[in-house]
């Protein structure tokens, strides 16, 4: 319960890409995931092997049977079981066992947005193939009654589909739009705030699903705000929901892994996962492992970068085979006017749907209406139980931000509304259940001074309205690079809208989910990299509907090399904030050239990064010997569509030689010439400078040499290479940086 409160108390930031580190406990035993070295032969023999291995640490058959909660036998060979620490240690030394990880719990990390980034309703579509595309989401469940998921006009299910869907508690079942819905809760701990079925009691999963593939719903809005047609990127595509996130506990590794396995077996084409990753190596992180197995089967995984910005080095879900998405803002904001009794007006950010009934209202500062002297500190933040109801009743309250929800506290005490002062989160609108808005520190101080300058301070908070703002810019909360794990790999990959996105919601939760809120809506505004991720997953599905045979790497390359460059001036963290730039859907359909890769390319990369070959069995099912393998070539040993050089030495010039191969997916014959942009102090050369293609799918290789003069630690410099033909521009950002020491 306390965890639930914690998650919901920061709906913007914490709900919207689920990273926690709480392990489930019970009699000193915890859940562990045990990986075996070989690919499973078949389900029955694999399950038997799992029991045999467990028996080596358990006293009896019964003990072993009771402790195992899941056998993963389809894409990879592993099991989840409840073990003591000693048993886990012992198992990790077993011959057949590759690694043993404790199960951890992660946190969850549109109308207008599609027109804004250039996927208008009139965009060219291949409806027939789009109807065969299935997007799988690992999330909080889905509301099947939403208009976004009606199946009018949908044809029969794709032939390849092997997924299932049933009637569960409070879940009316699937149709031809939602074709799969399952839930995973292997810890079996009851959750009083959730329902054991694919139904979405949170709203997050319904929102992300409708952003990817929701039908067009005309006239959608939240209380008249953000009015327009709500629709997903691929309205003709199908949705499969794998519920792995639960209201009280978050999203656990063993459930995420089971969902990946199910999605791969069911036959999804794209996986969208807006869940927090952990900075663990690529052979220990469940999301990276699950996504690798998906990639082996031709399924691209798109994931949120996280909401821990603007601190540098916070980007999550950054494996090279994952497409990592940052959040950008579109050109509108929701603001409310605050008018003080002295006639001065200010503007705050947030969504409140309340017209003032009279004006003005008396206003006091939370700090001045504390219940007693001990509660003065928490009354400043208008925290629950800190204020005197008699002094709050009938008034507006000025609060500093510590946790969201002061409007709920104020309302509970008979207060009328809240002005919240904050240094952070001033680019995304918080939804209020009373008149309310968020102001910055400068404005906050002015209001607080005014309150203390008169005996009868008064104010009015007006209903929110839309204003135009310059865009795109990267959200303050969007996690930033550099990649904390691989100095050779630029992350995040790309940016997509993730601020104030309107999409479908659940009828099972009020808009704020907090006590006293009686506001419900079919659509809601949400912000987070969680909202940006399904935009890119939708475009991956869109690209795949034109090119059903493209590999995940080719689809990713198409999305990255066609992204719109963003402004360094407006985003001081440059590529560490936005990667290749802003998602550009219609261009991604026709990239001209792609940087393609197969699973062995990634294995060569991991060997180059220094991973011992024995650990790579978690990914490919057999132990390999890195030194007897063909080495990956060039500075980063990867055919990635972006390049990043880590300038290490203080005095000498750093040199990175990047080797790349592109495949022609555009017209032939065609000739591409290189255009290079090099920042000051960096020399970039490419050889050859011209690539000519006489046929489709022809490959051409080239070398990029980056020479960088010393830069100071924590600094970065941005350049680029663009291959240009008369019809295409294939652009790769090139970043030189020096990590903070």
Ligand X SMILES: *[C@@H]1O[C@H](CO)[C@@H](O)[C@H](O)[C@H]1NC(C)=O
Which residue numbers are catalytic? 139, 204, 530
Distance (Å, whole) CA 410 – CA 682:
56
The owner of tokens 């008064």 is: 458
Rank residues 208 and 476 by Cβ distance to ligand X and give the closer one: 476
- Sole binder of ligand X in the list 193, 347, 685, 698 (CB under 6 A): 347
Distance (Å, whole) CA 692 – CA 700:
8
CB of 327 to ligand X, least distance (A): 20
- Sole binder of ligand X in the list 172, 345, 424, 454 (CB under 6 A): 345
Rank residues 189 and 442 by Cβ distance to ligand X and give the closer one: 442
Residues 709-738: x/- map of binding to ligand X (CB under 6 A)? -----------------x------------
Query: Is the link from the previous residue into 52 a cis peptide, with omega within 30 of 0?
Result: no
Query: Is the link from the previous residue into 360 a cis peptide, with omega within 30 of 0?
Result: yes
- Residue 692 binds ligand X, judged by CB under 6 A: no
Paired residues of 474 in beta bridges: 328
- Alpha carbon 358 to its chain centroid, in Å, reads 42
The count of residues in the chain is: 741
Q: How many C-beta atoms surround the C-beta of residue 319 within 10 A?
A: 28
Residues 423-442: x/- map of binding to ligand X (CB under 6 A)? -----------------xxx
- Residue 443 binds ligand X, judged by CB under 6 A: yes
Distance (Å, whole) CA 473 – CA 482:
18
For residues 222 and 501, the answer to whether their CB atoms sit within 8 Å is no
Tokens of residue 277, six digits: 């990753």
The owner of tokens 């904390």 is: 484
For residues 725 and 670, the answer to whether their CB atoms sit within 8 Å is yes
- Sole binder of ligand X in the list 92, 673, 685, 692 (CB under 6 A): 673
Q: How many C-beta atoms surround the C-beta of residue 300 within 10 A?
A: 29
Distance (Å, whole) CA 16 – CA 307:
7
Residues in CB range of 130: below 8 A, 6 or more apart? 234, 236, 237, 541, 542, 545
For residues 258 and 251, the answer to whether their CB atoms sit within 8 Å is no
CB of 337 to ligand X, least distance (A): 6
Rank residues 155 and 631 by Cβ distance to ligand X and give the closer one: 631
Q: What is 436-457 written as a DSSP string?
A: EEEE-HHHHHHHHHHHTT-SS-
Residues 111-140: x/- map of binding to ligand X (CB under 6 A)? ------------------------------
Q: How many C-beta atoms surround the C-beta of residue 697 within 10 A?
A: 11
CB of 446 to ligand X, least distance (A): 9
Tokens of residue 330, six digits: 């579109």
CB of 517 to ligand X, least distance (A): 16
Rank residues 45 and 442 by Cβ distance to ligand X and give the closer one: 442
SS3 state of residue 57: coil
Distance (Å, whole) CA 281 – CA 319:
9
Distance (Å, whole) CA 720 – CA 679:
9
- Residue 446 binds ligand X, judged by CB under 6 A: no
CB of 469 to ligand X, least distance (A): 11
Rank residues 470 and 726 by Cβ distance to ligand X and give the closer one: 726
Rank residues 37 and 102 by Cβ distance to ligand X and give the closer one: 37
DSSP 557: H
Rank residues 221 and 614 by Cβ distance to ligand X and give the closer one: 614
Distances (CA, A) of 345 to 338, 435, 467: 6, 16, 16
Residues 478-517: x/- map of binding to ligand X (CB under 6 A)? ------------------------------x---------
Rank residues 265 and 345 by Cβ distance to ligand X and give the closer one: 345
Rank residues 371 and 724 by Cβ distance to ligand X and give the closer one: 724
Rank residues 194 and 599 by Cβ distance to ligand X and give the closer one: 194
- E-strand stretches of 114-177: 134-139
Structural element, H or E, at residue 273:
strand 270-273
For residues 273 and 303, the answer to whether their CB atoms sit within 8 Å is yes
Rank residues 260 and 450 by Cβ distance to ligand X and give the closer one: 450
Number of residues that bind ligand X (CB under 6 A): 18
CB of 610 to ligand X, least distance (A): 15
Tokens of residue 488, six digits: 């050779």
- Sole binder of ligand X in the list 339, 368, 388, 466 (CB under 6 A): 339
Residue 62's φ and ψ, nearest 5 degrees, are -65, -45
SS3 state of residue 412: helix
CB of 497 to ligand X, least distance (A): 23
- Sole binder of ligand X in the list 216, 342, 625, 701 (CB under 6 A): 625
- Residue 628 binds ligand X, judged by CB under 6 A: yes
Distance (Å, whole) CA 553 – CA 536:
14
**Cα dihedral value 262, 266, 270, 275, nearest 10:** -20
Q: Which stretch binds ligand X (CB under 6 A): 365-373, 531-539, 620-628, 646-654?
A: 620-628
DSSP 387: B
- Sole binder of ligand X in the list 343, 549, 569, 712 (CB under 6 A): 343
SS3 state of residue 719: strand
Q: How many helices (H) and strands (E) does the chain have?
A: 19, 37
**Cα dihedral value 614, 616, 621, 626, nearest 10:** -60
Residues 145-184: x/- map of binding to ligand X (CB under 6 A)? ------------------------xx--------------
CB of 208 to ligand X, least distance (A): 21
DSSP 11: I
Distance (Å, whole) CA 419 – CA 404:
12
Distances (CA, A) of 50 to 64, 91, 326: 9, 11, 39
Rank residues 486 and 725 by Cβ distance to ligand X and give the closer one: 725
CB of 733 to ligand X, least distance (A): 21
Distance (Å, whole) CA 704 – CA 724:
16
CB of 694 to ligand X, least distance (A): 16
CB of 508 to ligand X, least distance (A): 5
CB of 423 to ligand X, least distance (A): 8
Distance (Å, whole) CA 697 – CA 22:
48
Within positions 264 to 293, which residues make up the interface with ligand X, using CB under 6 A?
A: none
**Cα dihedral value 427, 431, 436, 442, nearest 10:** -20
Rank residues 40 and 350 by Cβ distance to ligand X and give the closer one: 350
CB of 205 to ligand X, least distance (A): 15
- Residue 45 binds ligand X, judged by CB under 6 A: no
- Sole binder of ligand X in the list 48, 454, 690, 713 (CB under 6 A): 690
Residues of the shown chain interacting with ligand X in the complex, contacts defined by CB under 6 A: 169-170, 339, 343, 345, 347, 440-443, 508, 625, 627-628, 671, 673, 690, 726
């Amino acid at each position: 319960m306390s965890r639930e409160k914690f998650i919901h108390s920061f709906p913007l930031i914490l709900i919207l890409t689920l990273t926690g580190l709480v392990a489930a406990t019970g009699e000193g035993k915890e859940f562990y995931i045990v990986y075996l070295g070989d690919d499973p032969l078949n389900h029955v023999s694999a399950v038997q092997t799992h029991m045999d291995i467990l028996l080596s640490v358990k006293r009896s058959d019964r003990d072993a049977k009771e402790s195992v909660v899941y056998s993963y036998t389809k894409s990879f060979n592993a099991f989840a079981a409840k073990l003591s620490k000693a048993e886990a240690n012992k198992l990790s030394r077993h011959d057949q066992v590759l690694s043993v990880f404790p199960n951890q719990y992660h946190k969850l990390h549109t109308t207008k947005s599609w027109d804004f980034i250039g996927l208008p309703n009139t965009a060219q579509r291949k409806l027939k193939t789009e109807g065969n595309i299935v997007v799988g989401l690992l999330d909080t469940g889905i509301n099947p009654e939403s208009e976004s998921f009606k199946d009018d006009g949908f044809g029969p299910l794709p032939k390849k589909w092997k997924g299932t869907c049933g009637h569960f508690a409070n879940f009316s079942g699937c149709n031809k739009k939602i074709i799969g819905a399952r839930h995973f809760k292997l810890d079996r701990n009851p959750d009083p705030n959730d329902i054991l079925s694919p139904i979405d009691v949170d709203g997050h999963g319904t929102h992300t699903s409708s952003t990817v593939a929701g039908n067009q719903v005309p006239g959608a809005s939240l209380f008249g705000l953000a009015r327009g047609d709500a629709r997903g990127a691929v309205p003709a595509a199908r949705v499969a929901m794998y519920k792995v996130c639960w209201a009280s506990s978050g999203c656990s590794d063993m459930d995420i892994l089971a969902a990946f396995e199910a999605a791969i077996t069911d036959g999804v084409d794209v996986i969208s996962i807006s869940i927090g990753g952990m900075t663990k190596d690529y052979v220990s992180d469940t999301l990276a492992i699950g996504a690798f197995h998906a990639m082996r089967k031709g399924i691209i995984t798109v994931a949120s970068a996280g909401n821990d910005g603007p601190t540098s080095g916070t980007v999550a879900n950054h494996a090279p085979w994952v497409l990592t998405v940052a959040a950008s803002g579109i050109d509108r904001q929701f603001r409310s006017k605050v008018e003080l009794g002295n006639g001065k007006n200010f503007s705050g950010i947030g969504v409140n749907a309340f017209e003032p009934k009279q004006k003005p209202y008396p206003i006091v500062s939370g700090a001045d209406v504390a219940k007693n002297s001990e509660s003065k500190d928490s009354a400043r933040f208008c925290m629950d139980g800190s204020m005197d109801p008699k002094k709050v009743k009938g008034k507006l309250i000025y609060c500093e931000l510590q946790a969201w929800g002061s409007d709920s506290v104020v309302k509970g005490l008979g207060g009328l509304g809240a002005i919240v002062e904050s240094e952070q989160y001033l680019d995304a609108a918080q939804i209020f259940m009373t008149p309310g808005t968020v102001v910055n520190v400068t404005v906050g101080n002015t209001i607080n001074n005014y309150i203390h300058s008169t005996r009868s301070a008064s104010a009015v908070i007006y209903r929110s309205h839309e204003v135009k703002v310059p865009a795109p810019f990267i959200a303050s909360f969007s996690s930033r690079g550099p990649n904390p794990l691989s100095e050779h790999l630029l992350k995040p990959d790309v940016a997509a809208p993730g601020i104030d996105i309107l999409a479908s919601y659940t009828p099972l939760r009020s808009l704020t989910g907090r006590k006293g809120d009686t506001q419900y809506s079919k659509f809601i505004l949400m912000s987070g990299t969680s909202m940006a991720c399904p935009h890119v997953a939708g475009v991956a599905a869109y690209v795949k509907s034109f090119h059903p045979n493209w590999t995940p790497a080719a689809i990713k390359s198409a999305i990255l090399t066609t992204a719109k460059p963003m402004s360094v001036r407006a985003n001081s963290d440059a590529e560490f904030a936005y990667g290749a730039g802003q998602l550009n859907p219609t261009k991604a359909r026709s990239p001209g050239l792609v940087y393609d890769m197969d699973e062995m390319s990634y294995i060569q990369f991991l060997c180059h990064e220094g991973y011992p070959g024995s650990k790579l069995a978690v990914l490919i099912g057999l132990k390999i010997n890195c030194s007897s393998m063909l080495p990956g070539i060039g500075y980063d040993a990867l055919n990635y569509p972006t390049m990043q050089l880590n300038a290490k030495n203080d005095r000498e010039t750093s040199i990175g030689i990047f080797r790349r191969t592109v495949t022609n997916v555009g017209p032939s014959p065609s000739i591409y010439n290189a255009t290079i942009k090099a920042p000051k102090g960096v020399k970039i050369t490419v050889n050859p400078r011209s690539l000519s293609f006489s046929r489709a799918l022809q490959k051409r290789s080239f070398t990029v040499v980056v020479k960088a003069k010393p830069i100071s630690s924590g600094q970065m410099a941005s350049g680029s290479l663009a291959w240009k033909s008369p019809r295409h521009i294939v652009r790769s950002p090139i970043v030189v940086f020096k990590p903070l020491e």
